[in-house]
Amino acid sequence: MLDLFPLVVLFPLLGFLHNALLRNKVPHRFAGIVATFAVFLSFLVTLVSFYQFRPMERTAPHIIHVFSWIHVGNFQADIGYQVDQLSLYMTLIITGIGTLIHLYSMGYMKGDHGYNRFFAYLNLFIFSMLNLVLSDNLVLTFLGWEGVGLCSYLLIGFEFEKSSAAAAGMKAFILNRIGDVGFILGTGFLFWIVGSVRYADLQASIPGLPGFINYANLIALFFFIAAMGKSAQVPLYVWLPDAMAGPTPVSALIHAATMVTAGIFLIARLNFVFLIAPDTSFFIACIGAFTALFAATIGVLQNDIKKILAYSTVSQLGFMFLAMGVGSYVAGLFHLMTHAFFKALLFLGAGSVIHALHHEQNIRKMGGLFSKIKITSWTFLVGTVAIAGLPPFSGFFSKDLILEKAYVYPVYGPILWTFGVVAAFFTAFYMFRLVFVVFFGKDNTQTHGKTIHESPGTMTFPLIVLAIGAVVTGFLQTPHFFLNIHKLESYFEPVLKYGKELAVVHQATVKGTELGSQVEMGLALFSVCVALIGILFSYLLFQWKKSEILEEHTGFRKILFHKYYIDEIYDFIIVKPFLFFANGIGYFFDRVIIDRFFVTFGFSLAWFGGALRRFQTGFVGDYALYIVLGSFCIILYLLAKGV
């Protein structure tokens, strides 16, 4: 099965081709089944390969060369797949959660006239994402990287009749483009210095290049800029909240579980670059910590159920980057997985709520839904508890591991940790605000006479599976005082080994002090307390007091409600001047100066022709006169010149 691994990539491609080419021919139900099965088969193949690969014992990656793609001079990029612990891990997440979300979409998109188109896009997305994570070289990864960007654009703007959706798609695409420049630059630099774009070659030759260390920070920074765009970190995060204009399954699959984690994956994949770039790593940690807190504070005052979850995603991605920055790749990848589960669950739950309320997204027009949609409510609650970080749910373990690693980071560690903890507090607070307002609070639903009903089985089944995942996945890696499981750490050992050895050679490694289990327990208890206080606060405010305190917008609350006016600031600083400049070029310089010059030239020729036309009267006499005048001129000339 390992040698048949390219099938994993092939199935979604076939599904995409089927649905794209026959989108007007096949019935909706059939298209949905084809798309779902394409991903499901990929999942099965991955699962079998996973067991055959024996990831806990094997250290070398399994590389499958499919065919030669680009071969120019000494530049070689092939369609080849690298199966190792990291790519298998990502593939399992993508195909597993992807299958559930496809299944959910079958229920959610029912009756949508773009149903087949939607599934074609979803399959194309899965195909691109798999290329991104499985590729054995940077160029094919970039192909996937662009592919997911394209699908994100297509799916955000899925309901392109609405100009807001189309604009959101453009915004996502353009901001990602900024990051992609970083990716290209990083790839170019790596090729220039090392002479190869294949991960295996890079890994093998970088230790032999003593000069590489001088460029490591720069290259890492370029790749981090790419990650900033794709993974929505400050300052390129503004597209993700707007991306909620797409259908809910899209938000779950692309903008929570898979595509936005591509940045984390890239850092893990290039660990041998990032681990010897301590300055950039610290920068990553700072950006991550700041993003985590910044996005969490914005989430407190939003009223659109999907916007809240979007800011929460930005915040959680900040946590992951914090982990990457402090050099704990295992923690980052761990949180990537747990977050994929509970965030997909929350988004799908939100979709189920929206579905039940006939496309109402404003949480102030919800309330008292707990008894009406039981399965959705319970699963949503599970997801919320997981993201808030209460044991024994998955979010607790992964978030706690990150906070602990941040705490022991020797450079400003406690400050990073403080940021993280405050962000965790806000996370608990606004997520429970959401739960209280939507499921327990005063019933503000306006159904216009339609009944509120639980979603169909295709939608609730994924919710249940994801909820189970959100509960149990935390037990892959637990702290000393709690079972002391270190499965993930040993699992990722072979992938991260080279980078770590390299860092030791270059003394670039930032060694955190080992924590005693007492301190570790203290930290964990503290963060649980913080989460509980957050929950208590939101209980007091929204459930007990039925408070409207966060509804009247004055002073700082107003700033929060308007998301720190970041969009407006960007608009004012970048977009407006740029448009002004472009208008100046396009409508003044081009029209008035360039165009006028050339158009005048053309018109003068035309005028000249028009003047000549007058001579052609059609009278014989006129022509005879011209002949005479011409002869006369010639004679005069000859006389003047003297023959």
Considering the rule CB under 8 A, would residue 517 count as an interface residue with other proteins?
Answer: no
Give kind and range of the element (H or E) at residue 83.
strand 75-83
Helices and strands, counts by H and E, the chain: 26, 2
- Between 518 and 617, name the residue whose CB sits nearer to other proteins: 617
Residue 246's φ and ψ, nearest 5 degrees, are -75, 170
User: Which residue number, 484 or 631, has a Cβ lying nearer to other proteins?
Assistant: 631
In three-state secondary structure terms, 135 is strand
Identify residues 563-622 at the interface with other proteins (CB under 8 A): 616-621
What minimum distance in Å lies between the beta carbon of 614 and other proteins? Answer: 11
Pick left, alpha or beta for residue 448 (phi over 0 → left; psi -120 to 50 → alpha; otherwise beta): left
Judged by beta carbon, residue 70 or residue 633, the one nearer other proteins is 633
Closer CB to other proteins, residue 598 or residue 619?
619
Residue whose CB is less far from other proteins, 614 or 641: 614
**Nearest residue (CB) to other proteins, 51 versus 619:** 619
Residues 405-434 vs other proteins: string with x where CB under 8 A? Answer: ------------------------------
Per-position x/- string for 524-563, each x denoting binding to other proteins as judged by CB under 8 A, each - no binding: ----------------------------------------
Minimum distance between the CB of residue 22 and other proteins, rounded to whole angstroms? 59
Return the number of the residue (359 or 613) whose C-beta is nearest other proteins.
613
CB of 634 vs other proteins, minimal distance in Å: 14
Query: Does residue 643 bind other proteins (CB under 8 A)?
Result: no
CA separation for the pair 575, 166 (Å, rounded)? 17
**Parallel, antiparallel, or unpaired for β 62-72 and 75-83?**
antiparallel
625 binds other proteins (CB under 8 A): yes
What is the size of the binding site for other proteins (CB under 8 A)? 10
d(CA 118, CA 15): 12
User: Footprint of other proteins on residues 439-478 (CB under 8 A)?
Assistant: none
Backbone φ and ψ for 434, nearest 5 degrees, come out as -60, -50
For other proteins, the closer CB: 574 or 628: 628
Task: Please name which of 299, 317, 433, 455 lies closest in space to residue 366, comparing C-alpha atoms.
Answer: 433
Cβ closer to other proteins: 483 or 625? 625
State the nearest-atom distance from the C-beta of 637 to other proteins, in Å. Answer: 19
Contact in structure between 259 and 190 (CB atoms under 8 Å) = no
Minimum CB–partner distance for residue 631 and other proteins (Å): 9
The answer to whether 407 and 413 are in contact (CB under 8 A) is: yes
DSSP codes, 399-467 = HHHHHHHHHT-TTTHHHHHHHHHHHHHHHHHHHHHHHIIIIIS------TTPPP-PPPHHHHHHHHHHH
Residue 310: both structure tokens together: 């979007």
Nearer to other proteins, 208 or 609 (CB): 609
634 binds other proteins per the rule CB under 8 A: no
Q: To 10 degrees, the CA torsion angle through 115, 121, 124, 126?
A: -80
Nearer to other proteins, 628 or 638 (CB): 628
Segment interacting with other proteins (CB under 8 A) among 121-129, 400-408, 418-426, 623-631: 623-631
Q: What is the closest distance, in whole angstroms, from the C-beta atom of residue 625 to other proteins in the complex?
A: 6
Instruction: Tell whether residue 624 is a contact of other proteins (CB under 8 A).
Output: yes
CA distance 203 to 121: 34
**CB 349 within 8 Å of CB 463:** yes
Q: Which of 620, 636, 432 is nearest to 536 (CA)?
A: 432
Q: How far is the CB of 623 from other proteins (least distance, A)?
A: 8
Judged by beta carbon, residue 210 or residue 621, the one nearer other proteins is: 621
Burial of 161 (0-12, 13-18, 19+ CB in 10 A): exposed
Output the smallest distance, CB 578 to other proteins, in A: 56
Q: Which is nearer to other proteins, 599 or 628 (CB)?
A: 628
Report, in Å, the least distance between residue 627 CB and other proteins.
9
**210 vs 618 by CB, closer to other proteins:** 618
Q: Are 391 and 521 in contact (CB under 8 A)?
A: no
Here's the x/- map for other proteins, 166-205, by CB under 8 A: it reads as: ----------------------------------------
The upper half-sphere exposure of residue 442, i.e. CA atoms within 13 Å in the direction of its Cβ, equals 9
Cα distance between residue 343 and residue 349, in whole Å: 9
- In angstroms, what is the minimal distance from the CB of 628 to other proteins? 6
For the bound state, the minimum distance from the C-beta of residue 165 to other proteins, rounded and expressed in Å, comes to: 60
Q: One-letter amino acid identity for 278?
A: P
| Burial category of 79 from C-beta neighbours within 10 Å (exposed 0-12, middle 13-18, buried 19 and up) | buried
d(C-alpha 369, C-alpha 585), whole Å: 55
Q: How far apart are CB 636 and other proteins at their closest, in Å?
A: 16
Which of 628, 633, 636, 638 is the binder for other proteins (CB under 8 A)?
628
Q: Is the backbone peptide bond immediately before 235 cis, with ω within 30 degrees of 0?
A: yes
Task: Tell me how far, at minimum, the Cβ of 642 lies from other proteins, in Å.
Answer: 19
The DSSP line for 331-369 is HHHHHHHHHHHHHHHHHHHHHHHHHHTTS--BGGG----
Q: Smallest gap, in angstroms, from Cβ of residue 640 to other proteins?
A: 19
Interface with other proteins (CB under 8 A): 616-621, 623-625, 628
